[in-house]
Chain A
């Protein structure tokens, strides 16, 4: 069973360009979380999605960032008009269908390291 896949592993963009990060959850997982890790810091929650729905985007910056998890295909985190402060590692995690009152384990991908020049 393949783990969580993220691509690309490394992405370099110039200021003002768009960055598109992809995440394929583990087979059978319908919940996806995106986290950002700035240098020398812990991971910060960005957004939580289920298929075709954004459930919690309380950690997403209000502008330039968007996320989707279509019925078919990977989840996409898109950053428009990137700035140097967007340079970070972006991690995706997936979990299976969650029952009320339970805490399912999140399985993390290897991350995409974004560098903005």
Chain B
């Protein structure tokens, strides 16, 4: 079945550092790929998505490129802020079963310090 693997956290960075959170997936066909962010005590918010190979999703300075050859969708940001501290989830949807259910990775906690 489908699966998503993320790097384990927590990831601790200083403000303005470069961020990479690795994500690889296993799926049949051509899934859509997502990054969601969860702030403490809140639900998940869509950060960005890509629906086909070589697409780049971007939002709020974050970006990720759908790499079919390496089955990856790594999240990057050039300069993180304290307000980026949250848990980040990589997810995929293969559109099977008549809907778009999401398969999530286990999440990576990011802590940004001054």
Binding site for B on A (CB under 8 A): 4, 6, 31, 33, 35, 40-45, 48, 55-56, 58-59, 91, 93, 95, 98, 101, 103-111
Contact = CB atoms under 8 A, between A and B. Distances in A.
A104 B95 CA distance: 10
Contacts of A107: 46
Chain B residues touching A, range = 20 to 34
Given A42-B106, A43-B104, A48 B45 contact: no
A48 B101 CA distance: 7
Given A33-B101, A48-B101, 17 more contacts: A33-B99, A40-B106, A42-B105, A42-B106, A43-B102, A44-B104, A48-B97, A55-B99, A56-B98, A56-B99, A93-B44, A95-B100, A103-B49, A103-B93, A104-B100, A108-B43, A110-B43
Nearest to A59: B101
Given A42-B104, A42-B107, A55 B89 contact: no
Interface of B: 4, 32, 36, 41-46, 49, 51, 89, 93, 95, 97-107
A91 B99 contact: no
Contact of B45 (A31, A98, A108, A111): A108
A45 B101 contact: yes
Contacts of B103: 45
Given A45-B102, A103-B32, A56 B97 contact: yes
Contact of A111 (B32, B43, B93, B102): B43
A103 B100 contact: yes
B107 A4 contact: no
Contacts of B4: 42
Nearest to B51: A103
B44 A103 contact: no
B114 to A, nearest CB: 27
A110 B38 CA distance: 10
